[in-house]
Amino acid sequence: MADVDPITLEVVNEGLTAIVREMRANIVRTSYSAAVYELDDFSCALFAPDGELVTQWNDLPSHVIPMPWGVRCCIEEFGDDIHAGDIILLNDPYRGGTHLNDVTVLYPVFNNGRLFIFPVVRTHWADVGGMTPGSYSGEVTSVFQEGVRIPPIKLFEKGVLNKAAEALILSNMRVPDERKGDLYSAIGTCRIAEERLHKLTAKYTPQVVLDCIRKNLARSEQRMRDRIRALPDGEYFYEDYLEYFEDGEFDPVLLRLRLIVKGDEIHADFAGSNQQVPGPVNSSLAVAGAGVFVALKATLDPKGAINGGVFRPITYSAPEGSIVNLRANAPAGAHAEVRKRSLSVMLGALSQVAPEVVSGDLCGTSFPVNMGGHDARKNREYVYIEVPAGGNGGFAESDGSSAFVNVDHGDIKSIQTAENLELDMPFLVESCELRTDSAGDGMRRGGLGMRRRLKLLGDEAQYSVLSDRAVIPPFGVLGGGSSTQVHASYLRDGNMHEFRYPGKASGIPIRERDTVILESAGGGGYGDPLRRPLEQVHDDVRSGFISLRKATDVYGVAFNDSGDVDEKRSAELRREIAASRPKIKIRAEEADSYEGRRGRHRVARLSSAVAQKHGWSDGTLIELLGVNPAPLRAWVRIEEGSDHSTLPLDAFGRRVIGVADGEAVHVRTLTTPKVRLASRR
Predicted pLDDT of residue 645: 80
Mean pLDDT, rounded, for 254-283: 97
Mean pLDDT, rounded, for 346-371: 94
Is residue 584 scored above 80 in pLDDT?
yes
Domains and CATH numbers, the chain: 6-219 (no CATH), 359-532 (no CATH), 534-580 (no CATH), 583-669 (2.40.40.20)
295: left (phi over 0), alpha (psi -120 to 50) or beta: alpha
Q: Identify the CA nearest to 476 among candidates 442, 448, 449.
A: 442
Predicted pLDDT of residue 491: 97
| Residue 598 · residue 322 · CB < 8 Å | no
Q: Identify the CA nearest to 120 among candidates 88, 93, 80, 152.
A: 88
Is residue 119 scored above 70 in pLDDT?
yes
CA distance 656 to 349: 8
Is residue 139 scored above 80 in pLDDT?
yes
- The burial of 493, by beta-carbon neighbours within 10 Å (0-12 exposed, 13-18 middle, 19 or more buried), is given as exposed
Residue-wise pLDDT tens digits, 66-115: 999 999 999 999 999 999 999 999 999 999 889 999 999 999 999 999 99
Is residue 5 scored above 70 in pLDDT?
yes
Strands 369-375 and 601-606: unpaired
CA distance 630 to 257: 13
CA distance 77 to 100: 19
Is residue 121 scored above 80 in pLDDT?
yes
Is residue 422 scored above 70 in pLDDT?
yes
CA distance 99 to 146: 9
477: which strand partners? Answer: 526
Provide the whole-model pTM: 0.95
Q: For residue 511, what is the DSSP state?
A: E
CA distance 201 to 324: 40
Please enumerate in sequence order all residues whose Cβ is within 8 A of that of 412, keeping only pairs 6 or more positions apart, or say none: 39, 40, 41, 60, 387, 405
Is residue 681 scored above 90 in pLDDT?
no
H or E stretch including 515? Answer: strand 515-519
Is residue 1 scored above 60 in pLDDT?
no
Is residue 11 scored above 70 in pLDDT?
yes
Mean pLDDT, rounded, for 137-141: 92
DSSP, collapsed to helix, strand or coil, labels residue 113 as coil
Q: For residue 52, what is the DSSP state?
A: -
665: which strand partners? Answer: 584
DSSP3 helix / strand / coil % (the chain, rounded to 5): 30, 25, 45
Mean pLDDT, rounded, for 485-500: 96
Q: Per-residue confidence at 415, pLDDT binned at 50, 70, 90?
A: confident
| Residue 579 · residue 586 · CB < 8 Å | no
Instruction: Show the CA angle centred on residue 139, arms to residues 136 and 141, nearest 5°.
Output: 100
| Residue 255 · residue 243 · CB < 8 Å | no
Mean pLDDT, rounded, for 453-480: 96
Residue-wise pLDDT tens digits, 29-71: 999 998 899 889 999 999 999 999 999 998 888 899 999 999 9
**E strands in 179-298:** 234-242, 245-246, 249-250, 253-262, 265-269
Is residue 2 scored above 70 in pLDDT?
no
Residue-wise pLDDT tens digits, 279-329: 999 999 999 999 999 999 999 999 999 999 999 999 999 999 999 999 989
